[in-house]
Amino acid sequence: MIIQSIMIPKEAVHTVTTKDTIAIALDIMEDHNQRCIPILDPSSTLYRGNIYKYHIYRHLVQGGSLDEPVTTLLKNATKFVKNTDAFFKLFFTLGDLPYISVLNDKHHFLGIIRHTDMYELLSQSWKMTESSYALTISVPDNVTGLDKILKIIYKFTTITGLITLDREEFTLRKRIMVMFPPNFTKQQLQKLTNKLTAKSFDVLEVEDLTHGI
């Protein structure tokens, strides 16, 4: 499962319990340069939420005490995924959080998945570091457009990755991004681009990945 493969296990995660004070949480975050850490129950088994460094500082500015319990500033009590959840559940629950906690069916805390880990997973799946070039191509609004584009491409080369971008408010046209293998040359790319253009497919962007991103 994807969640299990990129999760940082509980034993490697800095946490506090509901018995701890805000001061203890702040010390941990300062010592390990972290924005927030999970709050667990007194037995360090059940997930309760997160505490953020930002909220601690705001709490102090407003006259709060570091001796208060961490539950005073508890956030994200309902923000978690189960270890059996699928990719899209993880992706949309994580959102812009620095990490998401992973629980089992008994609500036991198993570990976390960081935002950076999700980014790395997507980067690997797109094969950006294993590709030579990427083409962004406009796809006609019909069921055969994508099929025709791929048939043309496969006459020249295989592909290492493909991303589809549907037409939305920020995207005027439906597009695909296609990544090509390392042995695909600039000359072959030009021939492919010419062929796509001749068949009335708009090549919107060409990106050279041979020297990295």
d(CA 127, CA 134): 10
Length of the chain equals: 213
For residues 9 and 32, state if they share a domain: yes
Q: What percentage of residues in the chain have a pLDDT greater than 90? A: 75
For residues 162 and 183, state if they share a domain: yes
For residue 36 the two structure tokens come to: 């927030």
The answer as to whether 213 is a domain residue is no
Answer whether residue 35 shows pLDDT above 60: yes
Across the beta sheet with 161-165, the strand order is 161-165, 175-179, 133-138, 203-208
Q: Provide the whole-model pTM.
A: 0.76
**pLDDT band for position 213 (50/70/90)?**
low
206 close to 133: Cβ distance less than 8 angstroms:
yes
d(CA 72, CA 44): 18
Print the domain residue range for 165.
128-208
Backbone phi and psi for residue 180, each to the nearest 5 degrees, phi listed first = -115, 155
For residues 112 and 176, state if they share a domain: no
Q: What DSSP character marks residue 62? A: T
